[in-house]
Amino acid sequence: MRMKYLKGLTLAVAMSGLMAGSAHANDFAPQITELLNNQIKPWLSDPVVIDAIKAQNAETSGLSEGDIDALDKQWRAEADAGSGPLIDKTLANALSAFLKAKKDEAGGLYSEIFVMDGKGLNVGQSDVTSDYMQGDEAKWQKTYGAGPDAVFIDEVEFDDSSEQFQSQANTTIVDPATGQAIGAITIGINVEKLQ
């Protein structure tokens, strides 16, 4: 027990020093980049991922900003209530099952995984997100919005709900047949598991 406490205390001191030393640096970026390249990117071309994004892009391509705002408002209300038709439909799809399995297989390394379409809307996820529209956030803008090879690794932050230090790894998802960007993925990485 003492050893676990000391390890946690050491990590907390290291993380506070890291965060105080540089507000924008992420000392875990090399490890997260290696994880993205070697473990995550290989399954991003799986047909369950590609087919789900392409199908949703076809459904959402004609949505107006007002339509998207209404869907996001519906999602937030359902998230506050604990469920609802939009959330339930998303969590029940094949992509969400695939992402949940990837999270479970990682043994606590991933805190969340979610995939976004070409408008920044949720396509599938391992856990319910607080909002449906991610297109106004850096995780989508610095990946899908930046093109096929884009990667964005966010700062390390303490997540109150999971009580873990996390960084979000984000990358564009491309259609293997065309090389075109079709969506993006965000993976919450528990940096404590990278030690």
Residue 174 structural domain: 26-194
Question: What's the pLDDT at 34?
Answer: 95
Cβ of 142: how many Cβ atoms within 10 Å?
18
**What mean pLDDT, rounded, does the chain reach?**
89
Q: Is residue 98 part of a domain?
A: yes
Give the pair of three-digit tokens for residue 155.
């700062």
Q: Is residue 7 part of a domain?
A: no
Check pLDDT > 80 for residue 38: yes
Check pLDDT > 50 for residue 13: no
Q: Is residue 1 part of a domain?
A: no
CA distances from 76 to 156, 169, 182, 189 (A): 25, 23, 24, 24
Question: What's the pLDDT at 173?
Answer: 98
How much is the average pLDDT of 120-142? Answer: 96
Q: Is residue 152 part of a domain?
A: yes
CATH number, residue 105: 3.30.450.20
Tell me, rounded to whole angstroms, the distance of Cα 88 from its chain centroid: 19
- Per the CB < 8 A criterion, the answer to whether 83 and 77 are in contact is no
Q: Is residue 67 part of a domain?
A: yes
Q: Is residue 12 part of a domain?
A: no
Task: Give residue 3's pLDDT band: very low, low, confident or very high (50, 70, 90).
Answer: very low
What confidence tens digit (pLDDT) does each residue in 102-123 have? 999 999 999 999 999 999 999 9
What confidence tens digit (pLDDT) does each residue in 50-74 have? 999 999 999 999 999 999 999 999 9
Q: Is residue 79 part of a domain?
A: yes
Q: How many domains does the chain have?
A: 1
In degrees to the nearest 10, what's the CA dihedral of 195, 187, 132, 26? Answer: 60
Q: Is residue 36 part of a domain?
A: yes
| Predicted TM-score (pTM) of this structure | 0.87
